[in-house]
Amino acid sequence: MFIFRGIGRLVLDSKTVSVQNKTFLNIFTAYIKIPGLKLGIIAVSRDCFPIALSTQRRENIVKAYGEEIYNCTVTVENELDMLKAVADVKKVGCNALVVFLGNFGPETPETQIAQNFDGPCMFVAAAEGDGDMIDGRGDAYCGMLNCSYNLGMRHLKGYIPEYPVGTAEEVAQMIREFVPVARAIIGISSLKIITFGPRPQDFFACNAPIKGLYELGVEVEENSELDLLVSYKEHADDLRIPAVCEDMAKEMGEGVYYPELSARMAQFELTLLDWAENHKGSKKYVAFADKCWPAFPSQFGFEPCYVNSRLVSRGIPVSCEVDIYGALSEYIGMCVSGDTVTLLDINNSVPKYIYDEDIKGKYACDLTDTFMGFHCGNTPSCKMCASRAVKYQLIQHRLLEPEGSEPDFTRGTLEGDIAASPITFYRLQCDSDGVLRSYIAEGEVLDVPTRSFGGIGIFAIPEMGRFYRHVLIQKRYPHHGAVAFAHVGKALFEVMKYLGVQDIAYNQPKNLPYPTENPFS
């Protein structure tokens, strides 16, 4: 179930919706959802085995699954059956498939299903035990080997679970685990990432070849900050601004935002939404990677962080510092978790006095398992403690505004401690050689005050110290990491495998040293 919230829903609930607000609603709701999934299941049967084995076993799976799945009644024994079955699932709008080997299965037509179907396919096989072992034995355990071999010969991708042989109930559970993976694969292939501005000076770590995006089927549109500024100025008198300001006030509550700043930020929010609508082109979904400093605040009159937090909470990631692969990572996490995400700096160590006072003895982690994740204020308000508020960017205020002056255009960050939660810290990156690689680590945000500024939290990941040195540093990852607010490492790992990522790093336990780890330490 998706839990994105947004002004679209709030306006829809209103009894008095103006024409302009309806227009805003239409633009907004175009992006508050991640890909919907319509699953289908096709059973295959080798012609020297009883077809009833596959047919009945398919029916048992549909019953055990208990959720919406299109039950294709064409059981595939040959290539003509394959064409009929694929045409059938396409006709009803299926965009992901379960190919079920109810017996040994015909390796050619069963893999041609993936070849002719435009969407992710999972391949699973039936376990024995629901019939006698003479006429009721299906040998699908053996058939999966031929299926995998034939997929490889045809250079086709197929999602195969860790142990792809099971009873109806076990296969139903495999299908449930396939759902977030399929959703991410569909979403990635339908995504456009829109950028504004070159990366800030000395932030080359966010730079990466776009070659990897094209290999994944992601489109990219690069623009200048000037393009964004021109569009922003054109929205100066947008009649939808008051409705956005009203929603900002409802989201934040009294006394924790700058009312006089809301119109500027609402104007920017509408600018991005309209740009997404007008520039999505052939794609269905949009993410942004924007340059947010140093020129942005003085020219736009605010920091964009709070607006960024609002958009990502509604399904439109907006990464900082033109981090294209950060935006892509955020989007993948939304598809997998069905929830909002954030992008944070892997920022600073936790002081020992905080560890001794609030962590040691209360949480099962060492000091080196902890770090602080921080950004100026792009984390959605729903993932922050109740004390969160719209504030000003302390570092930018020092740099850009007169010493001793009251903050003006450096206001607009969403600050406060990030609420305690299970998390998955992850990233998909294209390295300087054009090779895709990724890391995934599960952990938690601790219920411990940070005593600091920005949108910030104390994170604990098992063996983080070793992971930091032998993955993040050793493999030269940038300082940004995406955060999903749930343990979704298993699904993310499967997504990366499906995408063809060869190097998927994780926080290895002590008994499993990294290749670069000194055994004499």
Q: Which residue has the tokens 């089927």?
A: 217
Count of domains in the chain?
2
Decide if 248 is inside a domain. Answer: yes
**In a shared domain, residues 181 and 225:** no
Contact criterion met (CB below 8 Å) for 97 and 122: yes
The pLDDT of residue 295 is 87
| pTM for this prediction | 0.92
Q: Is the predicted pLDDT of residue 204 greater than 80, yes or no? A: no
Please answer whether residues 387 and 416 qualify as being in contact, where contact means their C-beta atoms are separated by less than 8 angstroms: yes
Instruction: Reply yes or no on whether the pLDDT at 32 is more than 70.
Output: no
Residue 144 has a pLDDT of: 96
Residue 165 lies in a domain: yes
Domain boundary among 186, 213, 245: 186
Compare 440 and 7 and report the one with higher pLDDT: 440
The answer as to whether 34 is a domain residue is: no
Query: What is the rounded average pLDDT of the residues 39-58?
Result: 95
- Number of C-beta neighbours around residue 66 at 10 A: 9
State the greatest distance between any 2 C-alpha atoms of the chain, in Å, as a whole number: 87
pLDDT band at 191 (very low <50, low <70, confident <90, very high): very high
Q: Which of 52-66, 98-112, 298-312, 393-407 has the lowest mean pLDDT?
A: 393-407
Q: Domain check: are 454 and 408 in the same one?
A: yes
- Where would I find the H helices in 286-345? 295-300, 305-312, 324-337
Gap between the Cα atoms of 443 and 225, Å rounded: 36
Model pLDDT, residue 18: 37
31: β partners: none
Residue 31 has pLDDT above 90, yes or no: no
Q: Looking at per-residue confidence, does 316 or 33 come out higher?
A: 316
Query: Rounded CA gap, 331 and 324, in Å?
Result: 11
The structure tokens listed for 267 are: 């104007």
Instruction: Say yes or no: 152 and 165 in one domain.
Output: yes
Report the pLDDT value the prediction gives residue 3, as an integer from 0 to 100. 45
Q: pLDDT by residue (tens digit) across 368-427?
A: 999 999 999 899 999 999 999 999 888 888 888 888 888 888 899 999 999 999 999 999
Domain membership of residue 430 as a residue range: 190-506
**What does the pLDDT look like over 2-30, one tens digit per residue?**
444 443 332 222 333 333 444 444 545 55
The pLDDT assigned to 442 comes to 98
What pLDDT score does 305 carry? 94
Element (H, E) at 244: helix 241-252
Instruction: Quote the CA–CA distance of 173 and 65 in Å, as a whole number.
Output: 7
Are residues 112 and 227 part of one domain?
no
Domain co-membership, 173 together with 321:
no
Please report, for the domain that includes residue 124, its CATH number.
3.40.50.10940
Position 136 scores a pLDDT of 87
